[in-house]
Structure 1
Amino acid sequence: MTDPGPDADPLAAWRRYAGPCVLLDGFHALKHALRFGAEVPVAVTGDRAGALALAEELAPDVRDALDGLLAEVGQEAYASLVPRPHPTAVAALAVRPSRAAGLRALAHRPRRTPVVVLDQPRNLGNAGAVIRLAAGFGATGVVTTGPLDPWHPTVVRGGAGLHFATAVERLDVGELPAGPVFALDPEGEDIRGLRLPDDALLAFGSERSGLSRELRARADHLVALPMRPQVSSYNLATSVAMTLYHWSATGDAPRVP
């Protein structure tokens, strides 16, 4: 994919790249994507001065990159390019990492941080929130099984551009990377008595029906989160956050400076 060049019409460039690229919706999604090495061929804004002022305040590390990328197109033109205008009036298109690169990252051994597996997820926003969590904890990646596309625009919006900070792929259960599978299930062993290994696959069932038969058969351990009796379940992203925190507190997770 070639750079359209600084003098190109940004709207024409947008139309050129919109098909094969991933929409980065808002300043923070673009900020995160740039921090983690995304290739961004076009970025537009309805308020260039406002976007650069925001960068000066919140993300000075990417301010110069944004200065070179952002093309002001006016509020009306900006709004015509996105499904729902973002309050920061910033949008960009980024090249999706290759599947081969994602699979290499997931398969690399020794693996020093877990892989999060979402088994047959249904909610796009929850999937995006999980990817944001996984990136924050430095997880190796997030794998989904089933029909949900983890690169769907709604998932990317929920992930705030952090798809580029971790490997994100869709696989069948039989294609999961090697490693012990710790699957969350109400009938499992209390997580508070366990140490989750760094190379674990942490698997979470769907919001409605729990673990699939295939994933349950693949699991090495069933693990339960502490929960008050008569409470049915936690939100998916909450369950992932609790589990990743337990791993980080009991294993060899990288420490935040």
Structure 2
Amino acid sequence: MNASGTPPHPGDGRDPDGAVRAWRGLASDAVLLDGFHAVKHALRFGAAVPVALTSDRAAVLALADDLAPDVRAALDALLVEVPADTLRALVPRLHPTAVAALGSRPSRAEGLAALSRVPRTRPVVVLDQPRNLGNAGAVIRLAAGFGITGVITTGTLDPWHPTVVRGGAGLHFATVVERVEDAGQLPPGPLYALDAEGEDIRGLTLPDDAILAFGSERTGLSAPVRERADQLVSLPMNPRVSSYNLATSVAMTLFHWSTGHGPAV
């Protein structure tokens, strides 16, 4: 009990055992936010974060003072310091900033509804059967930076996998991120699919309601997405070079779209 006679909140810095118990009870269903930047972005974009642990509370708060004063008060209220060994037992691949938190995953139904809502003023990116978790995270980070409507993956990769969230620096909460089974479940809108056989993107204007589809790192676009495409689009590239990295392709395409728009909001 604290001085007021009520149990201490796991995040008030005075109940490490309670915070660890809360972590263990939530971990199987929650989103792992590993590292200062992931926690910072989750808080900045309104994620529900019930518990956050660190082995060096003072160091994390000093980082917040320097890099994210807007979330410093929230971190101060939330962070619980636990022994380093305890933290590493809960998060074996701990980020060098020695802080991790658990966030509540947004509603899937609300996310799919937001992606399908028309009229749409910013594109949706589709990663068609991606394989690389880090690339998927980098794309979600790009989506947040450009302020687009969201990112959809098809196939089996979970876009909320901890490695994807780590690669996205917690910016899943700044956009909509969902997975669908196949091309038949994609939202409405003109589908522009990136393909080496397509029309050069430099001669095209991508509409704001575009669905921008990118194939997997190894096999390219799946047949269903290719068949559904309204337009195949290619990026300029030296013919002796076989391909770009997936995140690079998304960045080039979103930059091309963004040239006619103001800053992301």
Distance 2:40 2:140 in 1: 16
Q: 5+ unaligned residues in a row in structure 2: which ranges?
A: 1-8
CA distances 1:194-219 after superposition (whole Å, capped 9, x unpaired): 11001000000010111000000110
Name 1:96's counterpart in structure 2. 105
Distance 2:19 2:243 in 1: 47
Task: Tell me if 1:244 matches 2:254.
Answer: yes
Question: Following superposition of structure 1 onto structure 2, how do residues 69-108 of structure 1 map, counting pairs within 5 Å?
Answer: 69-108=78-117
Partner amino acid, structure 2, of 1:22: V
Distance 1:97 1:10 in 2: 22
Question: Following superposition of structure 1 onto structure 2, how do residues 173-192 of structure 1 map, counting pairs within 5 Å?
Answer: 173-192=183-202
Distance 2:224 2:92 in 1: 36
Partner amino acid, structure 2, of 1:98: S
Distance 2:249 2:164 in 1: 18
Contact 2:65/2:72, CA 8 A, preserved across alignment: yes
Out of 109, 123, 126, the position equivalent to 1:117 is: 126
Out of 55, 58, 68, the position equivalent to 1:49 is: 58
Name 1:156's counterpart in structure 2. 165
Runs of 4+ in 1 over 6 A off after TM superposition: none
Residue 256 of structure 1, CA deviation: 5.2
Distance 1:175 1:256 in 2: 27
SS across alignment from 2:259: helix
Residue 105 of structure 1, CA deviation: 1.1
Partner amino acid, structure 1, of 2:199: E
CA distances 1:168-207 after superposition (whole Å, capped 9, x unpaired): 1111210100000000000100000111001000000010
Name 2:145's counterpart in structure 1. 136
CA distances 1:89-139 after superposition (whole Å, capped 9, x unpaired): 000000000101111210112111100000010101100100010111001
Contact 2:64/2:72, CA 8 A, preserved across alignment: yes
Residue 254 of structure 1, CA deviation: 3.7
Is the deviation greater in 3-12 or in 235-244? Answer: 3-12
Distance 1:40 1:162 in 2: 14
Name 1:166's counterpart in structure 2. 175
Distance 1:208 1:5 in 2: 44
**TM-score, length basis structure 2:** 0.93
Out of 236, 242, 263, the position equivalent to 1:255 is: 263
Distance 1:10 1:73 in 2: 9
Distance verdict in 2 for CA 1:130–1:5, change over 3 Å: closer
**TM-score, length basis structure 1:** 0.95
Residue 74 of structure 1, CA deviation: 2.1
- Aligned residue pairs total 253
Partner amino acid, structure 1, of 2:84: Q
Q: 5+ unaligned residues in a row in structure 1: which ranges?
A: none
CA distances 1:18-68 after superposition (whole Å, capped 9, x unpaired): 011000000000000011110000000010000000000000000000000
Partner amino acid, structure 1, of 2:238: R
Out of 228, 231, 234, the position equivalent to 1:224 is: 234
Partner amino acid, structure 2, of 1:34: L
Name 1:200's counterpart in structure 2. 210
Partner amino acid, structure 2, of 1:255: P
Partner amino acid, structure 2, of 1:99: R
Name 2:39's counterpart in structure 1. 30
Partner amino acid, structure 1, of 2:187: P
Identity %: 72
Partner amino acid, structure 1, of 2:228: R
Distance 1:5 1:213 in 2: 49
